[in-house]
Structure 1
Amino acid sequence: MLTLANVDSFYGRSHVLHAVTAEFAGDAITAVLGRNGTGKTTLLKTLMGLTDRMTGEIRIDGTEIGSAPPHVRARSGIAYVPQGREIIPDFTIRENILMGGFARRDGRRVIPDLVPELFPYLMENLDRRGGVLSGGQQQQLAIARALAADPKILLLDEPTEGIQPNIVEEIEEIIIRLNREAGMTVILVEQKVDFARRAAMGFAMMEKGRVIAAGPIAGLSDDLVHRHMAV
């Protein structure tokens, strides 16, 4: 269980998250939804300790991590796949994946057993530079790098954005498998309501830096989507 209690988060003087209180169930996918600019990405960065300042409490299974630096949070079992992927273009696929191992609690840097099963293309091209991959292949690489940290909780920021249509469904299925088969807790920032409803067990709707609705995914009504996501 990952919980936030009265979390405020800041970039410099900019106050982005306001008194966010939320629970993310273990072994579940929770979709975080809302219009652009409502604080969804900042929520994930706050969980990783990547904003300038935060107040409030963040706990994993009751252990407070809100005051811990990013590397300690990573070693507590959180991995982050950012929007835009942020792979290192001059590193090979192998090198990009192994970078994730720096966050492992046991210090091992290995390619996870899941990677050959989920991403055969990556395993067949380990010496290719990350910068020559397509957007979809780079997203696969970013997820593989996160898995190298051996996480319990995976944070995904719009993982199918800007990806060619033939790979979108593949990425979606991989996210579902990571939860259903690998037992990973997934917090998924997503704009595609159909995918959120298909994959997630719960949701949190954000508006102006606040969670204004949350609960089981069955409660994500068309009216709620229209009021808080329609442009």
Structure 2
Amino acid sequence: MIRRGEPRVSVAVTALLVATLTGCGGAGDKTEEPAAKGKASPSASVDCTDQSLGQAEWLKHCADEAGTGGDGGGQQDQTPRPLGKTVETVGAESPADGGPGGGGLEVTPTTIVYQEEAMGNTPLNGLFAIITVKDKAPNVADAAESAPIEGGGWQWIAPDGQALSEGENEASSITPNGFTGGGTIKAGTWAWRTLAFDITEAQKGGVLIYTDGAAQTYRWQMPKAEQGPELAALKKGMEGEY
């Protein structure tokens, strides 16, 4: 019932107004905004749940939806994870040993020791930081760590901000027995390797950074004290006459 003095609006006019508002981006507008420039977006032609999808294709089409790095790591991951945390990375496109290596690679730094001398070598800066890393190729493709020549590899970021590369100065010859793996990891297998950095006493407790074959970065906060399950085995592997 319409009271005296109230405007009369026909059903047809009301419908026309609603349609006009909807077409102009009003309350009924369902148009999706375009993806932000530089971000990957899922492709309608790619099934991101397909387990046979290659990692390069997954990163291209699906990374923006699911994140990268297995646990949310990747280029946007700026919060270091603790020692012992595994990340899922993309292997090197051109491994240093010439073999195949672009498959998925699980990377886990597990143990760290600090030594004033190691395997007959004395650090230029006063201290070696030596870290064990477990590399695993869990899928059906071989995998290898990305190397500095590809823009990848390992760095130690000291508390004062200085960036040190793996094997820099006198750290290139630290190869403990039992942890001397490296190169391409065969599909379904894993291997140990060690990282060594030539640091000062004040640079203990830095951030360990790895950049993989897809230019994704992963960070671990290193403790200032020695720790890890391989501590005894790592020290034993550095004993002897050299």
- TM-score of the superposed pair, with normalisation by structure 1: 0.24
Richer in strand (by share): 1
Richer in helix (by share): 1
- TM-score of the superposed pair, with normalisation by structure 2: 0.23
Higher RCO (C-alpha 8 Å, min separation 6): 1
